[in-house]
Amino acid sequence: MTPPDRLRALLAEPGFIVMPAVWDGLSAKLAAAAGFKTAFMSGSCVAASRLGGPDLDLISFGEMFDSFNMVHGAAPGTLVLADGDHGYGNAMTVQRTVRAYGRAGAAAILIEDKITPRALTAAGKPCLPRDEARMKIRAAVEAAKDSGILILARTDCRPTQGIEEAVARIEMYVEEGADILFLDSPSDDTEIKRAVAAAAGRPSFAVLSPGAPRATPSQSQAAALGFKIGTHPTGMLSPAAAGMKAGLAALVAGEAGAASAMPPAELRTTLGYPDYDARAKPFILPG
């Protein structure tokens, strides 16, 4: 089965799916080792890791695609939902983006309706007019036929245009054939339920990391509200940053490492040194 087919089968099973947010080979490998079958390659995490910066349209398609190849290479069995952002341009560049990720082995791709480049402020999420957003999702669904990759259609218009427009866009994306639906920044459970109902039985996706001005249910609450998939963009990223800061503080203090650091043997095993030796053994020349 292809990755999209495997994801479709998983979505058909009962239960709520948790997708850890990953950004490189190590994060993907750790998520797979923890037993997760799926992962979301988060644009915010890639921006943080590659740029040390915010997720404000600073990352290019090439950088995101390179990160996907790292993720997929380190955890080839993981079903990856790639963050395709706004498709990096018009409907035709959306198609190029979707086809590239489909050929590379992604199970699904997110396409959103934000305007790019955005205004020079971190506040607000101005979005395309409704008909332009429709054409992007129509283009994405058409391009997805080549590989079968699933299309996650996201609307960010709730903060700037209101819940009525956001629900109308979800209904529109369903009409266009999107496989998974995502209302960003719902304000409460009532709005969540409206968005899930608008998805008309197709899976709904939620961001479950706290911090942003949005309703942030727990995993169990999300399942009860009708979500099928939830991701935690800061679930690994925030502890990783905290761990690096702890390591640096230990070095400043003259210590060899932080108290929370992995023992050397565990780190070597995690990174795959024993696996490498086992795989290399057949190729070692005698003597």
- Whether the Cβ atoms of residue 155 and residue 169 lie closer than 8 Å to each other: yes
| Residues 162 and 258 grouped into a single domain | no
Task: Name the pTM for this structure.
Answer: 0.96
| Residues 212 and 249 grouped into a single domain | no
| Residues 86 and 119 grouped into a single domain | yes
* Predicted pLDDT at 118: 79
| Residues 83 and 120 grouped into a single domain | yes
Q: Which residues of 47-69 are buried (b: 16+ CB within 10 A; e: fewer)?
A: bbbbeeeebebebebeebbebbe
* Predicted pLDDT at 285: 96
| Residues 86 and 22 grouped into a single domain | yes
* Predicted pLDDT at 125: 82
Non-local CB neighbours of 133 within 8 Å, separated by 6+ positions: 113, 127, 155, 169, 172
Last residue of a domain, one of 236, 251, 271: 236
| Residues 45 and 62 grouped into a single domain | yes
Query: HSE of 33 in the Cβ direction (CA atoms, 13 Å)?
Result: 11
| Residues 54 and 79 grouped into a single domain | yes
Helices 91-104 and 130-144: angle between axes, nearest 10 degrees: 30
**Which of 91, 171, 182, 163 lies closest to 133 in space, CA to CA?**
91
Please give the tally of structural domains in the chain: 2
- Whether the Cβ atoms of residue 140 and residue 95 lie closer than 8 Å to each other: yes
Could you tell me the residue range of the domain that residue 279 belongs to? 241-283
| Residues 188 and 264 grouped into a single domain | no
| Residues 229 and 279 grouped into a single domain | no
Domain harbouring 127, CATH code:
3.20.20.60
Q: CA-CA distance, 117 to 126, in Å (whole number)? A: 10
| Residues 78 and 199 grouped into a single domain | yes
DSSP state, residue 183: E
Last residue of a domain, one of 220, 236, 252: 236
| Residues 36, 217, 172: CA angle, nearest 5 degrees | 85
Non-local CB neighbours of 17 within 8 Å, separated by 6+ positions: 10, 11, 38, 228, 229, 230
| Per-residue tens of pLDDT for the chain, all 287 residues | 999 999 999 999 999 999 999 999 999 999 999 999 999 999 999 999 999 999 999 999 999 999 999 999 999 999 999 999 999 999 999 999 999 999 999 999 999 999 988 777 777 789 999 999 999 999 999 999 999 999 999 999 999 999 999 999 999 999 999 999 999 999 999 999 999 999 999 999 999 998 877 889 999 999 999 999 999 999 999 999 999 999 999 999 999 999 999 999 999 999 999 999 999 999 999 98
What's phi and psi for 32, nearest 5 deg?
-65, -40
| Residues 167 and 128 grouped into a single domain | yes
- Whether the Cβ atoms of residue 111 and residue 153 lie closer than 8 Å to each other: yes
* Predicted pLDDT at 82: 98
| Residues 120 and 43 grouped into a single domain | yes
